[in-house]
Structure 1
């Protein structure tokens, strides 16, 4: 009897230790950040009463439809880490993503430095977008100035949509119509001054963001087709592009003005 009691006590002690270790592991902070779908914004519209796109030195036109960029938001503050339990929960939640913290907040940077970094990335993206759009239009950046204003959005992933918005504001489809054909078009992608479209982070969450806001056609970098397909929300068409010209051709096809709409 004493032997059995001793075994039971030993098992209970071991179980308590295991449970304690599990609890500690679940509560331990990890160097990750949790991302969720963020707001979307129409680059053809206004934010806080200020037009997102303002042009000097060239005539602009009234537009219809929307060119809506997508964002993701970190729910993990720059000076915090997530608990193991949060990481586990996020892995099984399609509306959240867990990424290395350094991928969201550069290591060794203060909160102020991180904010400045994001603003600089956005500024660089805006300059590249303006250069790519004016290059397509055959306009000189010395004569035509573009000002892009979008508060509370950082990073480079809005470049493609900014470039399309500038072209729509100045030229439209070249025949008096809109690039959008009056539709709401979503999109994401970095852009270089030569019009090359690059990959972005959090594309799975950006798909959810645009679909939530009524988008049915979503322009994405072609290199991210496979990733985007794994999380594509029902009713969302993925339109892959490699360049600004590809995006313009895709919008032309969507308007029924010729060509075929590409798909992943």
Structure 2
């Protein structure tokens, strides 16, 4: 706090020359040219939160059809980190001085050798993978069977023209598979150019295709089939996630909790405002995420009473200003449900200390 005040005072005392400088540091390019004046830094701060039990633009964030769902109460909010890039010097200084944003080198957001478009595509795929894992983890917790569905096919990839979105994959090289992770593991054991036999169902008809594997564009030693997959219940139950323009895998835990809440009796959250973050694996294990302090602040500012944090993020989570909010540590989907139940019943829950 002392350092921040000192910086602010220094700027105040030098106000007259700064006024003259302001017109230079606030423009993003040299007038009359295409030369950029933006700084090579990004600002990370609290982003918006979304209630996975609620709606966005009139559509349920987690929509379940084909089966009866239970009434839900309260909130299970996923949290995000806002990232600002392309800042001028004055904008970067302003965020450093007057907000709690973290200023980081731009390379942390856009690693060298990868374009912004590639980063966005990677984040989008990670988000889709987290949705699939969330569904699997929830179905496993509820003891409901799932199957693999092709979500998208990469243009000009090995699978292009052979597999289609909506195909239900049942085996790879004669080995039965039920999760995207199992497919990926089998493919990783092969090499580019190897032929993989895929058995799948399309329109109620079982088909088999032999596909020569391609190579990953960033590492030609890594085999690539060229499909993204999701998991869907074997029954008529269909789970759809309706959030756009959000990337990364950290919404997995909250998505999975929303599915369990809607398909089981009684509110998991006790009707309270719960927020959180964490990756989710197909087996239900919860993994660490980035930007935890910003997500904690976002939840506290939104009015959450409880924040669910991966145990691996606990030490960092409590360094944020979380007010009266209780931060519970979680290791698995089942543990998260147990923690909320213990909190609501006055039992022995585990907080981040």
- TM-score, normalization by structure 2: 0.60
Residue matched to 1:210: 299
Give the deviation of 1:92 after TM superposition: 5.8
Which range moved further: 195-204 or 52-61?
Answer: 52-61
Report the secondary structure of 1:54's partner residue. strand
Aligned equivalent of 2:82, options 61, 67, 73: 73
Kindly indicate whether the alpha-carbon contact (under 8 Å) linking 1:34 and 1:82 is maintained by their aligned counterparts in 2: no
Residue matched to 2:140: 135
Structure with bigger helix share is: 1
Aligned equivalent of 1:40, options 49, 54, 61: 49
**Aligned partners of 1:109 and 1:48: how far apart in 2?**
33
1:114-160: CA deviation from partner (whole Å, max 9, x where unpaired): 32222111101100111100010000122243111112221111100
Report the secondary structure of 1:230's partner residue. coil
**Aligned partners of 1:92 and 1:111: how far apart in 2?**
27
**Aligned partners of 1:75 and 1:187: how far apart in 2?**
22
Kindly indicate whether the alpha-carbon contact (under 8 Å) linking 2:64 and 2:238 is maintained by their aligned counterparts in 1: yes
Matches within 5 A, 1:48-197: 48-76=57-85, 80=86, 83=89, 95-141=100-146, 142-143=234-235, 144-171=237-264, 176-197=265-286
Kindly indicate whether the alpha-carbon contact (under 8 Å) linking 2:276 and 2:308 is maintained by their aligned counterparts in 1: yes
**Aligned partners of 1:82 and 1:241: how far apart in 2?**
40
Give the deviation of 1:106 after TM superposition: 3.8
Structure 2 residue runs of 5 or longer lacking an equivalent are 1-20, 26-36, 147-233
Matches within 5 A, 1:5-16: none
Residue matched to 1:5: none
Moved over 3 A (4+): 27-31, 80-83, 85-94
Kindly indicate whether the alpha-carbon contact (under 8 Å) linking 2:71 and 2:266 is maintained by their aligned counterparts in 1: no
> What is the number of residues matched between the two proteins?
232
Structure 1 residue runs of 5 or longer lacking an equivalent are 1-22
Give the deviation of 1:86 after TM superposition: 6.2
Aligned equivalent of 1:244, options 333, 339, 346: 333
Residue matched to 1:262: 350
Residue matched to 2:310: 221
Give the deviation of 1:243 after TM superposition: 0.9
Report the secondary structure of 1:255's partner residue. helix
Report the secondary structure of 2:71's partner residue. coil
Give the deviation of 1:103 after TM superposition: 2.7
Matches within 5 A, 1:229-240: 229-240=318-329
**Aligned partners of 1:125 and 1:107: how far apart in 2?**
25
Which range moved further: 88-97 or 203-212?
Answer: 88-97
Kindly indicate whether the alpha-carbon contact (under 8 Å) linking 1:253 and 1:259 is maintained by their aligned counterparts in 2: yes
Matches within 5 A, 1:17-32: 31-32=40-41
Give the deviation of 1:93 after TM superposition: 5.6
**Aligned partners of 1:198 and 1:30: how far apart in 2?**
33
- TM-score, normalization by structure 1: 0.80
Kindly indicate whether the alpha-carbon contact (under 8 Å) linking 1:71 and 1:206 is maintained by their aligned counterparts in 2: yes
